[in-house]
Amino acid sequence: MNQPAQPQTAVIEDGDIVFDCPSCAKSLGIDYHGAGYLVTCPHCGLEIQVPEVEVVEDPEGHIADAAHAQIALDDTTRMLNEKIIGLQKQQAATRKQFEKIGAEINELQKALDRMVALLTEAENG
Ligand SMILES: [Zn+2]
């Protein structure tokens, strides 16, 4: 399970974003995929947003004591999955409704054809 807010030794990799926690000013490193996401500071537990910039080029540098922050993605991922499932259900329902509407239109067209035929008969008869 995810255990946030535990300080850990840094493993800053190439392409990681390194930034300072605005609360405790400790250096944090996170995979660049985490840019813009909310993370939990492993030092003070504060929820902070990962900046979009400052990708590390040299992971051996001065940020060696940075800790990896925990991405708080679980809730967001679950919410998005539920939304996707909901949209898929909606799409299936909409498709069924369109099929029904198509069938109704066919019936109406047949009825119209019959009416036109009857009117033509009446006119000619
Ligand atoms: Zn902090």
Average pLDDT by stretches of 10, the chain with 125 residues: 42 76 88 84 89 62 54 71 86 89 93 92 85
> Is 12 within a domain?
no
Distance CA 29, CA 51 (A): 11
pLDDT at 7: 35
How many Cα atoms within 13 Å fall on the side-chain side of residue 71? 15
Separation of 7 CA from ligand 1 center, angstroms?
10
Q: Distance between CA atoms of 29 and 78, rounded to whole angstroms?
A: 24
Report the amino acid identity of residue 47.
Answer: E
Q: Quick one: pLDDT at residue 50?
A: 86
Distance 52 CA to ligand 1 centre (A): 18
Confidence at residue 111, expressed as pLDDT on a 0 to 100 scale: 92
pLDDT of 10 reads 56
CATH number at residue 51: 2.20.28
Cα 80 to middle of ligand 1, angstroms: 28
Q: Are residues 68 and 79 in the same domain?
A: no
Domain span at residue 39? 17-72
Ligand 1 centroid–CA 11 distance in Å is 17
Q: What is the pLDDT at residue 3?
A: 40
My answer on whether 64 and 100 are in the same domain is: no
- Asked if residue 104 belongs to a domain, the reply is yes
